[in-house]
């Protein structure tokens, strides 16, 4: 990340922060208003009029401002020409659409700038909560302008986790006894933000998350002192031909290795 931090990405962060706010305002106008809904991925994933309107706003603002950047969004047909772009926007206009449609407030607009496979600027805007998370390569992670940090070693023997019952059931009994599961948060990006600001020690992520779910939150968690990795402990690479990821672990450092051990136990048992 040091080479990436050598370039000033603050202007891009300012740009995507403004765009995320405007897209959030667009989405908020549909919130709890029963927007029209369609189903994609063979009926497994909802997309609403709010998603499409927010996506249109983001595309208009960002692509006109940085025409040389590539584009990857959940709500735009993928153009593999992005693979030739060293820098691109990675966007989810509403991360947590299911929760949004249920009237839950913890959904967010997720926007990242990715350079050379890693995020260098990232924004999560949760308009229903009035929360703006930002981070830039080499800088601090901020929530509404104030620095945030992952939880420290004081809670090392207990774990407040966002994890499914299925994933937890495969972990060791002693570990399960020390886990407090939080109520399900439909937005993966927002769950990672909760790790970044210390409300959670970690989250175990099922397979089939996508670049747009992760890129902005990955950088925010990193700059808050945490780690998002695959099961081998390796950081994620973005803007590949395949944008789907396997099981992942996002956590504060003191908990990360312990969580990886539990994931390994699940595979071996």
Q: Is the pLDDT of residue 157 over 90?
A: no
Please enumerate, as own/partner, the contacts of 84-90 that have beta carbons within 8 Å and a separation of 24 or more.
Answer: 85/239, 86/115, 86/116, 87/113, 87/114, 87/115, 88/113, 88/114, 88/239, 89/16, 89/58, 89/62, 89/63, 89/113, 89/114, 90/114, 90/119, 90/211, 90/212, 90/215, 90/216, 90/238, 90/239
| 3-state secondary structure at position 185 | coil
Are 87 and 115 in contact by the 8 Å Cβ rule? The answer is yes
How remote is the C-alpha of 78 from its chain's centroid? 19
pLDDT of residue 159: 82
How confident is residue 4, by pLDDT bands cut at 50, 70 and 90? low
How confident is residue 96, by pLDDT bands cut at 50, 70 and 90? very high
Strand partners, 163: none
* DSSP for 48-88, written as a single string: EHHHHHHHHHHHHHHHHH-TTSEEEETTS---GGGGG-SEE
pLDDT of residue 155: 55
**Number of helical H runs and strand E runs in the chain:** 9, 16
pLDDT of residue 42: 66
Mean pLDDT of 47-65: 98
Q: Is the pLDDT of residue 223 over 80?
A: yes
How confident is residue 2, by pLDDT bands cut at 50, 70 and 90? very low
Mean pLDDT of 70-78: 97
Q: How far apart are the first and last CA of the chain?
A: 36
Q: Is the pLDDT of residue 3 over 60?
A: no
pLDDT of residue 154: 61
Work out the number of other CB atoms within 10 angstroms of the CB of residue 83. Answer: 12
Work out the number of other CB atoms within 10 angstroms of the CB of residue 116. Answer: 12
Mean pLDDT of 222-250: 97
pLDDT of residue 269: 65
Mean pLDDT of 128-150: 98
Q: What is the chain's Cα-based Rg?
A: 18
Q: Is the pLDDT of residue 169 over 70?
A: yes
Mean pLDDT of 240-261: 93
pLDDT by residue (tens digit) across 21-40? 999 999 999 999 999 999 98
Mean pLDDT of 104-109: 98
Strand partners, 223: none
Q: What is the pTM of this model?
A: 0.94
pLDDT of residue 1: 42
Strand partners, 118: 115
Average pLDDT across the chain, whole number: 93
| 3-state secondary structure at position 10 | helix
pLDDT of residue 87: 98
Q: Is the pLDDT of residue 90 over 80?
A: yes
Mean pLDDT of 150-157: 73
Neighbour-count burial of 206, counting CB atoms closer than 10 A to its CB (0-12 exposed, 13-18 middle, 19+ buried): middle
Q: Is the pLDDT of residue 6 over 50?
A: no
* Domains present along the chain, CATH in parentheses: 2-147 (3.30.540.10), 153-268 (3.40.190.80)
In the chain, the percentage of residues whose pLDDT exceeds 70 is 95
DSSP state of 269: -
Closest by alpha carbon to 211, among 76, 99, 73, 98? 73
pLDDT of residue 264: 83
Residue 185's φ and ψ, nearest 5 degrees, are -110, 110
In the chain, the percentage of residues whose pLDDT exceeds 90 is 80
How confident is residue 41, by pLDDT bands cut at 50, 70 and 90? confident
């Amino acid at each position: 990340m040091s080479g990436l931090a050598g370039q000033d990405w603050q202007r891009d962060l300012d740009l995507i922060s403004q765009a995320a706010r405007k897209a959030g305002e667009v989405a908020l106008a549909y919130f709890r208003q029963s927007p029209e809904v369609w189903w994609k991925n063979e009926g497994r994933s909802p997309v609403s009029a709010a998603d499409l309107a927010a996506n249109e706003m983001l595309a208009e603002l960002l692509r006109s401002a940085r025409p040389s950047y590539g584009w990857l969004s959940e709500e735009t047909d993928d153009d593999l020409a992005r693979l030739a772009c060293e820098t691109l926007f990675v966007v989810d206009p509403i991360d947590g659409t299911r929760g949004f449609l249920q009237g839950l407030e913890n959904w967010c607009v997720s926007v990242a700038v990715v350079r050379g496979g890693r995020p260098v600027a990232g924004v999560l805007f949760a308009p229903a909560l009035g929360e703006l998370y930002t981070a830039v390569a080499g800088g601090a992670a901020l929530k509404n302008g104030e620095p945030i940090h992952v939880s420290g070693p004081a809670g090392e023997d207990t774990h407040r986790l966002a994890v499914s019952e299925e994933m937890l059931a495969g972990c060791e009994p002693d570990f399960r006894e020390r886990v407090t599961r939080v109520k399900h948060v439909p937005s993966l990006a927002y769950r990672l933000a909760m790790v970044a600001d210390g409300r959670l020690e970690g989250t175990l992520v099922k397979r089939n998350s996508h670049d747009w779910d992760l890129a902005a939150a990955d950088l925010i968690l990193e700059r808050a002192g945490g780690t998002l990795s695959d099961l081998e402990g390796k950081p994620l690479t973005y803007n590949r031909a395949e944008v789907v990821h396997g099981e992942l672990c996002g956590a504060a450092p003191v908990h990360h290795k312990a969580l990886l051990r539990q994931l390994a136990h699940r595979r071996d048992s």
